[in-house]
Amino acid sequence: MSIAGQESASAVQLPAVTRRKRPTVAQLFLRDWVVIAAVLFLILVIGSALTADLLVKLGVLFDPLAQDLLARNKPPLFAGPKGLHLLGTDQLGRDLLTRLIFGGRLSIGISFVAIVVSSLIGVTLGLTAGYRGGRLDDLIMRLVDIQMGFPQMLLALTIIYAVGPSITNLIIVLALTRWTAIARVTRASCLSLRESLYVEAARSLGASHLRIVLLHILPNISSTLLILISLEFGRVMLSEAGLSFLGMGIQPPDASWGLMLAQGRAYMSTAWWLVTFPGLAIALTTLCTNLLAGWARGISDPTYRKAM
């Protein structure tokens, strides 16, 4: 760092930092209440999604498909004949909280599978391109460039309409639209490690290419990748919601957050909860993953961490 930079930026902070013992990750975590809240919220959402069927059996939640046309569009805290509807009921008298949890199960599940698939494609191709270099690198990166030039959203809509909206097709389209960014970052990080001393050492000890890539390079770029992947997860969630909202994603009677928004739209002025809660669910879930990713980026960067 420049002398001048220290002078202007850290004249006050420097002594304080050196006096303090460097905090561990756990300590940093507990210090940041925003991150704690984010993690708790994600645990709540994922936990309820995973145990949704059990909760219905136990009678905590309602049957997600059971209609009650006498109790249509009832506001939050409505006490119906079958119990208390905490977030009200929807246009067919179904319990909104229940639908929200089942919708979350599909929305999160689909986005999760899609991001796993696109990470597998992106990381594999990125590592191949970065490690092998040469012709193969050119080919893969050209492919990435070409796809990045596509109008993604219009193409996704078109493809899904062509092959028919189903969960599998939705996952495939979402996975195929997001692998490029992951491949690019993987390649760039792999390139910088390929010539590093410890990779050289492993190579001279006779390690196979596969071993070098999987055991020496991949672990060292994994934190960068994990952060990128969680940011991408947020984008996939929003794309899924968008496609479902436009009727090209999850089909009724299944619930997903985007679809619930689309269905609630007609009752927007009389039943605000139908639109408000699914939207909040999407926004908060994406927000929490993004916050977590941002926090993790801060932690994994030593210069930033020291100052946290």
Partner 1 sequence: MVRYLAGRLVQSLFVLAGLTIVVFVVSRQIGDAARLMLPLDATEDQYQAMREHLGLNDPLITQFLHYVWGLLRGDFGISLWQNVPAMDLVISRFPATALLASATVAFALLLAFPIGITAALKPRSIFDRMSTVVSIFGLSVPPFWLALIFITFFSVHLGWFPTSGYGGLQYLALPMLALAAQSVGRLTQVVRSSMLDVLSSQYLTTARSKGLRERIVLIRHALRNALLPILTIAGDELIGLLNGSVAIEFIFGWPGIGQLTLAAIQQRDFAVIQACVMFVAVLVVVVNFIIDLLYAWSDPRIRYA
Instruction: Please report whether residue 163 would count as binding partner 1 according to CB under 8 A.
Output: yes
Q: What is the dihedral of CA 29, 33, 35, 36, to 10 degrees?
A: 80
Instruction: Please report whether residue 165 would count as binding partner 1 according to CB under 8 A.
Output: no
Q: Which are the contacts of 267, defined by CB distance < 8 A and separation ≥ 6?
A: 73, 91, 274, 275
Between CA 28 and CA 295 the distance in angstroms is 10
85 strand-pairing partners: 78
Q: How far is the CB of 185 from partner 1 (least distance, A)?
A: 15
Applying CB under 8 A, among 57, 161, 166, 209 the residue interacting with partner 1 is: 161
Instruction: Please report whether residue 174 would count as binding partner 1 according to CB under 8 A.
Output: no
Instruction: Please report whether residue 70 would count as binding partner 1 according to CB under 8 A.
Output: no
Applying CB under 8 A, among 63, 138, 145, 301 the residue interacting with partner 1 is: 145
Between CA 75 and CA 68 the distance in angstroms is 14
Nearest CA to 244 out of 174, 139, 146, 151 is that of 174
Angle of helix 167-194 versus helix 96-132 axis, rounded to 10: 40
Binding mask 223-262 for partner 1 (x = CB under 8 A): -----------x---x--xx--xx-----------x--x-
For residue 26, CA distances in Å to 30, 46, 124, 294 come to: 6, 22, 32, 16
Instruction: Please report whether residue 2 would count as binding partner 1 according to CB under 8 A.
Output: yes
- Reported for 219-227, long-range contacts at CB under 8 A and 24+ positions apart, including other chains, are 220/193, 221/186, 221/189, 221/190, 221/193, 223/296, 223/300, 224/185, 224/189, 224/300, 225/119, 225/123, 225/182, 225/185, 225/186, 225/189, 226/296, 227/293, 227/296, 227/297, 227/300
Query: By CB under 8 A, what part of segment 84-113 binds partner 1?
Result: none
Q: CB nearer to partner 1: give 158 or 208.
A: 158
Instruction: Please report whether residue 153 would count as binding partner 1 according to CB under 8 A.
Output: yes
Nearest CA to 100 out of 286, 281, 288, 284 is that of 281
Q: CB nearer to partner 1: give 220 or 300.
A: 300
Q: CB nearer to partner 1: give 62 or 187.
A: 187
Q: CB nearer to partner 1: give 220 or 276.
A: 276
Instruction: Please report whether residue 209 would count as binding partner 1 according to CB under 8 A.
Output: no
52 strand-pairing partners: none
Q: How far is the CB of 164 from partner 1 (least distance, A)?
A: 9
Q: How far is the CB of 141 from partner 1 (least distance, A)?
A: 10
Q: How far is the CB of 59 from partner 1 (least distance, A)?
A: 31
The contact set with partner 1 (CB under 8 A) reads 1-2, 4-5, 7-9, 34, 142, 145-147, 149-155, 157-159, 161-163, 234, 238, 241-242, 245-246, 258, 261, 265, 268-269, 272, 275-276, 278-279, 282-284, 286-287, 290-291, 294, 307
